[in-house]
Structure 1
Amino acid sequence: MIVIEKSNIEEIPCLHLVKEEEKYNPLPLCFFIHGFTSAKEHNLHYAFYLAEKGFRVILPDCLEHGERATGKSEEELGRVFWKIVLNSIHELSLLKRYFGKKGLLIENGIGVAGTSMGGIVTLGALTQYDWISSAVSLMGNPSYVKFAKAQLSHLKSTGYQLPFSEEEVGAILNELSHYDLSLQPEKLNGRPLMFWHGKKDKVVPYHLTEEFYKSILPAYEGNEDNILFISDDKADHKVSREGVIKLVEWFEKHLSA
């Protein structure tokens, strides 16, 4: 039986899914990060499928989302999008440390995944933590600087007055460069990484993800089983059932004890 436990871990609201009989045993652990304006509960189907396969799954609420929402509008949230992303990356280390102290981790057994903003968080986290054993990005983007510049250009084209000075924009882009996987692909170090992206996605640019994937293929020569890009010709900014199943299969293959 799968148990769903709602708790605060290091003051981060989380859902914890695991087989009841395995709750206190060391297990492969998956962190799953939700998308922009979403919440932890919206990804329970991913977590349930993973828990069925024997994983411990943690769904945290990102800053300003779910139980941590403070009533900001979508436009207001957009202004702190990258703050939310970087905060989520930092909080992964707190969550990992918590389960480590409990003695519930296994060696080479931590996976990170997410949808949209959560996929962006996942790819940035790979630049910071070598303890991530495997990762899945669903509609994410590794090119933080290019994506941020594209967001700024789009806002300017609509006549929107940016709430940042040129100096502040430069500082933001500089900070993002430290988490930009496209600028430091060597941080992957051959770790298993799967992408899923719809070609008709108008929210997170498909071409940047595909461009990055093609650029890292030579580094996986002889280790092709550790890299996968699933392109959906018909999908926009919504993960297909096939994408959900492939994510579960990926972690089952690369994280099972």
Structure 2
Amino acid sequence: MIVVEKSSIQDIPYLHLVKEEGIGHPLPLCFFIHGFTSAKEHNLHYAYYLAEKGFRVVLPDCLEHGERATGKTEEELGGVFWKIVLNTIHELSILKSHFEEEGLVVDHGIGVAGTSMGGIVTLGALTQYEWISSAVSLMGNPSYVKFAKAQLEYLKSSGYELPFSEGEVSAILDELSYYDLSLQPEKLNGRPLMFWHGKKDKVVPFHLTEEFYKSILPAYEGNENNILFIADERADHKVSREGVKKLVEWFEKHLSA
């Protein structure tokens, strides 16, 4: 039986899924991060499949989402998109420490994954935490600075008045560069990383993710089993059932105790 526990730590609400027999035992731990305007409950199917395979799974609510929503419109949320991303990266460390202190994590057994914004969080987290043993980005993007610049250009072309000064924009881009995996690919250090992305995605640019994947392939020479890019010819900004299955298979292969 899969147990679903609703809890929180330091104002971070999360769902915790695990097989009943594994509740108090160290297990490989998977963090799964939801997408923009979504919530932890919307990704329960990922967590269930992973828990079935013997993983401990934690789904947090990001800032301004789910239980932490403050009534902002989607447009208002867009204005704090990168604040949410960076905050979630920092909170992963809080959650990880909590489960380690409880003795519920096996050594070298932590995976991080997410959809869309959650995939973006996942790729940024790889620049900060060596303790991530394996990662999966579903419709994510590692190129924070390029993506942020593209977002700004789109808003300007749409006639939207940016709520930031030139100086503020420059400061934001400088901060994002610290988490931009495309600017520091050496931080991967050969760790297992899987990408899934729909070629027709109009929300998170497919080409930036593919471009990054191709650029890091030489670093995985002789270790090709640790890198995978799945391009879905038909998919737009929605993960297919096949993509869900591939994520579970990836963690089974690269994160099992």
Rounded to whole Å, the distance in 1 between the matches of 2:135 and 2:194 is: 6
Rounded to whole Å, the distance in 1 between the matches of 2:23 and 2:146 is: 42
Residue 77 (structure 1) aligned with residue 81 (structure 2): no
Letter in 2 for 1:143: S
Rounded to whole Å, the distance in 2 between the matches of 1:78 and 1:158 is: 14
| Deviation per residue, 1:170-224 (Å, 9 max, x gap) | 0000000000000000000000000000000000000000000000000000000
1:145 touches 1:173 (CA, 8 Å); kept in 2? yes
Letter in 2 for 1:28: P
Rounded to whole Å, the distance in 2 between the matches of 1:118 and 1:221 is: 28
- RMSD of aligned Cα (Å): 0.4
Aligned match of 2:25: 25
Aligned match of 2:58: 58
Aligned match of 1:162: 162
Aligned match of 1:248: 248
1:139 touches 1:237 (CA, 8 Å); kept in 2? yes
Rounded to whole Å, the distance in 1 between the matches of 2:115 and 2:10 is: 23
Residue 133 (structure 1) aligned with residue 133 (structure 2): yes
Residue 45 (structure 1) aligned with residue 45 (structure 2): yes
Rounded to whole Å, the distance in 2 between the matches of 1:33 and 1:173 is: 23
Rounded to whole Å, the distance in 2 between the matches of 1:149 and 1:223 is: 33
Rounded to whole Å, the distance in 2 between the matches of 1:16 and 1:106 is: 16
SS at match of 2:124: helix
Rounded to whole Å, the distance in 2 between the matches of 1:58 and 1:10 is: 15
Q: Give the % identical residues.
A: 85
Rounded to whole Å, the distance in 2 between the matches of 1:254 and 1:115 is: 19
Letter in 1 for 2:157: S
SS at match of 1:18: strand
SS at match of 1:217: helix
TM-score between both structures, scaled by the size of structure 2: 1.00
| Deviation per residue, 1:104-142 (Å, 9 max, x gap) | 111110000000000000000000000000000000000
1:10 touches 1:98 (CA, 8 Å); kept in 2? no
| Deviation per residue, 1:129-159 (Å, 9 max, x gap) | 0000000000000000000000000000011
Rounded to whole Å, the distance in 1 between the matches of 2:61 and 2:32 is: 10
Letter in 2 for 1:167: G
Residue 187 (structure 1) aligned with residue 187 (structure 2): yes
1:85-124 aligned within 5 A: 85-124=85-124
| Deviation per residue, 1:34-69 (Å, 9 max, x gap) | 000000000000000000000000000000000000
- Point out 4+ residue stretches in structure 1 off by more than 4 angstroms: none
Paired positions, count: 257
Rounded to whole Å, the distance in 1 between the matches of 2:70 and 2:27 is: 34
1:138-153 aligned within 5 A: 138-153=138-153
SS at match of 1:4: strand
Rounded to whole Å, the distance in 1 between the matches of 2:244 and 2:59 is: 15
Aligned match of 1:11: 11
Rounded to whole Å, the distance in 2 between the matches of 1:158 and 1:6 is: 41
Rounded to whole Å, the distance in 2 between the matches of 1:25 and 1:19 is: 10
Q: Which runs of 5+ in 2 are unaligned?
A: none
SS at match of 1:21: helix
SS at match of 1:14: strand
Answer with 101-110 or 88-97: which moved more.
Answer: 101-110
Rounded to whole Å, the distance in 1 between the matches of 2:22 and 2:186 is: 36
Letter in 2 for 1:203: V
Aligned match of 2:171: 171
Q: CA deviation at 1:9?
A: 2.1
Letter in 2 for 1:103: G
Rounded to whole Å, the distance in 1 between the matches of 2:169 and 2:256 is: 42
